[in-house]
A and B are shown apart, each in its own frame.
Chain A
């Protein structure tokens, strides 16, 4: 690692935890204020992408493997769909959050639970796929070596 990027590296090290934390802030405030899983997922992925821009793609891929990123995306997607199916089994229509919990009329627990679970699914799907897309581009090995041109 070269030394002349020391400012970048120090600043990034300080910033990255806050970026990730801000992602979760956007996530959990999404229920009542602007935000939500989509934006939060992008912010979370950005923290990872920033790390790999400054410290290199190889250490990032060691910390968060491409397979793990893909699995997170798939599980997030699955979580979303499973909430819908749980509502179906609970007697409502697909994604009918009210059917998630058995509660008296006027209760909103089901709605809260449903939207939080869905948003977590979206967060995982977006963060995972953003990372996977970045890996696919940045980690690409050229098929023809430079000397062969």
Chain B
């Protein structure tokens, strides 16, 4: 199907797909900023993200056209790498790009009703411009093969994100401190990252990631490289909300506009985790002596701690969005635990969970946004009995919630099963027990919500039955179907993640 797409599209679009994927939303952003009408801006946002999605599919088709996964290199401005900036797409990039563009496209479709309700109409087109800039940045991070360019795109997306979060102030003033906290933490993270890249540049004289990985082999014991490693690790860890650097996340997710929460939860931390994986395994490489120790001594305990501590915190939340936000940090823990194994199976399991969690949390926040739009209120009390008044919205919420717990036949089960298998393969049975324990905590915190939604009497029994608008229900159920499809037949996704992990371990680039 994807190959057929490559045949239909004009050759210009196919050969320049890596650049166009990032450029299309980038060009639309200033255009949208000048538009007077929010509705028109929404149309452009859907078009731009949809176009990027098609480009991501084309790239995936090109990467998959070869048995072991091809690598597409695109030289910006015709300057050949390593001197020029290179966009480099392998299976891992294509997978992350597909996640970001797919979620971005669905988010843009679903966004209109909630944005209209939550954002002042004079600011709507600027809001969409900021959203497109954020989307551009995330795509750029996932596409680029240049360490400094990655920093630039990371900042492009982050700065737009701070704006998007702060615009939640129309609904709840607490969005402003949340955004300024996020700004401070995010800027610290970005500064750490760029300092780390500076150290690497000083030691090797190149910024191209493929070239870096080659040259780093000769200077492995250099103290500057070790310092650079630590800086990059912490910087990207902050962006990825790695425990205990996740303090910015719960408030940012709880108080930003519903649309922003949904988009960020499904993409932003995922892209940062991708960057972390890229640096750990491709740029530094597993032979890097420092790294083996840091994976087991730092990444693994952090992952375990996130799974336990943040799941506990989620249990005690009364606000649904805060609860889901804490659960997000816990899920980042699962992904990092898989990565910390340092084996192909572990990284593959981590990547499966990265995609699955995007799909699950995207759907959950989408359903919450739909409920908030119609019924207001995000506390557990407000959700009582919604299963009866909005069955379609809440069934989607329920299925995704079960998937978050890891019930069989859903995507969440596939990734947790893969993770436990990878853990047992290495003999980390105690970590597998922690995974199961954390899933029990997920049963508790999701169970509280599902019980309130489906088994308690509605808050106001006279409230007539009212669903979220169709424009929310369609992308929501799209995500739920994807979730169930992965749960029933994970072959497509596992094929991709195994390919991505193999390319990470097969000599990096």
**Chain A contact residues, CB within 8 Å of chain B:** 70-71, 73-75, 77-78, 81-82, 84-85, 87-89, 92-99
A98 & B16 in contact (Cβ 8 Å cutoff): no
Q: Is B386 an interface residue (CB 8 A)?
A: no
Q: Which residues of chain B are within 8 angstroms of A81 by Cβ–Cβ distance?
A: 23, 26-27, 30
11 other A-B residue contacts (CB within 8 Å) besides A87-B77, A93-B78, A95-B76:
A70-B33, A74-B31, A77-B30, A78-B27, A81-B27, A88-B12, A88-B16, A93-B19, A94-B20, A94-B74, A97-B77
Question: Measured between alpha carbons, how far is A75 from B27 in the docked complex, in Å?
Answer: 10
Q: Is B227 an interface residue (CB 8 A)?
A: no
A71 & B34 in contact (Cβ 8 Å cutoff): yes
Which 6 pairs from chain A and chain B are nearest by CB? A74-B30, A96-B78, A94-B19, A95-B77, A77-B30, A81-B27
Indicate the member of A74, A77, A84, A94 with the most B CB atoms within 10 Å.
A94
Question: Measured between alpha carbons, how far is A96 from B12 in the docked complex, in Å?
Answer: 15
Q: Which residues of chain B are within 8 angstroms of A70 by Cβ–Cβ distance?
A: 33-34
Q: Is B373 an interface residue (CB 8 A)?
A: no
Cβ-neighbour of B78 out of A77, A89, A99 (below 8 A): A99
Question: Measured between alpha carbons, how far is A73 from B34 in the docked complex, in Å?
Answer: 10
Encode B22-57 as 1/0 by CB contact (under 8 A) with A: 010011011101100000000000000000000000
A96 & B30 in contact (Cβ 8 Å cutoff): no
B78 & A75 in contact (Cβ 8 Å cutoff): no
Nearest chain B CB to A71's CB is how many angstroms away?
Answer: 6
Question: Measured between alpha carbons, how far is A73 from B126 in the docked complex, in Å?
Answer: 13
Nearest chain A CB to B25's CB is how many angstroms away?
Answer: 11
Nearest chain A CB to B219's CB is how many angstroms away?
Answer: 31
Chain B: interface secondary structure? helix
Q: Is B75 an interface residue (CB 8 A)?
A: yes
Q: How many A-B residue pairs have CB under 8 A?
A: 51
Chain A residue, CB-CB nearest to B34: A74
Q: Which residues of chain B are within 8 angstroms of A74 by Cβ–Cβ distance?
A: 30-31, 33-34
Q: Provided the pairs A81-B23, A84-B23, A85-B23 are in contact, do residues A92 and B78 lie with their beta carbons within 8 angstroms?
A: yes
Question: Measured between alpha carbons, how far is A78 from B20 in the docked complex, in Å?
Answer: 15
Nearest chain B CB to A5's CB is how many angstroms away?
Answer: 35
Question: Measured between alpha carbons, how far is A84 from B24 in the docked complex, in Å?
Answer: 11
Question: Measured between alpha carbons, how far is A42 from B12 in the docked complex, in Å?
Answer: 37
A98 & B78 in contact (Cβ 8 Å cutoff): yes
Nearest chain A CB to B212's CB is how many angstroms away?
Answer: 22
Question: Measured between alpha carbons, how far is A84 from B87 in the docked complex, in Å?
Answer: 15
Chain B residue, CB-CB nearest to A114: B77
Q: Which residues of chain B are within 8 angstroms of A73 by Cβ–Cβ distance?
A: 30
Q: Provided the pairs A88-B12, A95-B77 are in contact, do residues A78 and B19 lie with their beta carbons within 8 angstroms?
A: no
Question: Measured between alpha carbons, how far is A77 from B27 in the docked complex, in Å?
Answer: 8
B75 & A85 in contact (Cβ 8 Å cutoff): no
Encode B69-84 as 1/0 by CB contact (under 8 A) with A: 0000011111000000
Question: Measured between alpha carbons, how far is A96 from B76 in the docked complex, in Å?
Answer: 7
B27 & A94 in contact (Cβ 8 Å cutoff): no
Question: Measured between alpha carbons, how far is A85 from B31 in the docked complex, in Å?
Answer: 15
Q: Which residues of chain A are within 8 angstroms of B33 by Cβ–Cβ distance?
A: 70, 74
Provide 27 A-B residue pairs closer than 8 Å at the C-beta atoms, listed in order of the A residue. Answer: A70-B33, A74-B34, A77-B29, A77-B30, A78-B27, A78-B30, A81-B23, A81-B27, A81-B30, A84-B19, A84-B23, A85-B27, A87-B77, A88-B19, A92-B78, A93-B19, A93-B75, A93-B76, A93-B78, A94-B16, A94-B74, A94-B76, A95-B76, A95-B77, A96-B77, A98-B78, A99-B78
Question: Measured between alpha carbons, how far is A98 from B79 in the docked complex, in Å?
Answer: 11
Q: Which residues of chain B are within 8 angstroms of A92 by Cβ–Cβ distance?
A: 78
Q: Which residues of chain B are within 8 angstroms of A82 by Cβ–Cβ distance?
A: 27
Question: Measured between alpha carbons, how far is A88 from B11 in the docked complex, in Å?
Answer: 12
Chain B residue, CB-CB nearest to A88: B16
Nearest chain B CB to A81's CB is how many angstroms away?
Answer: 5
A94 & B77 in contact (Cβ 8 Å cutoff): yes
Question: Measured between alpha carbons, how far is A88 from B12 in the docked complex, in Å?
Answer: 8
Chain A residue, CB-CB nearest to B74: A93
Nearest chain A CB to B83's CB is how many angstroms away?
Answer: 14
Question: Measured between alpha carbons, how far is A89 from B15 in the docked complex, in Å?
Answer: 12
Q: Which residues of chain B are within 8 angstroms of A89 by Cβ–Cβ distance?
A: 12
Nearest chain B CB to A118's CB is how many angstroms away?
Answer: 10
Chain A residue, CB-CB nearest to B31: A78
Question: Measured between alpha carbons, how far is A84 from B76 in the docked complex, in Å?
Answer: 10
Chain B residue, CB-CB nearest to A95: B77
Nearest chain A CB to B221's CB is how many angstroms away?
Answer: 37
Chain B residue, CB-CB nearest to A125: B30
Which residues B50-102 have CB closer than 8 A to chain A?
74-78
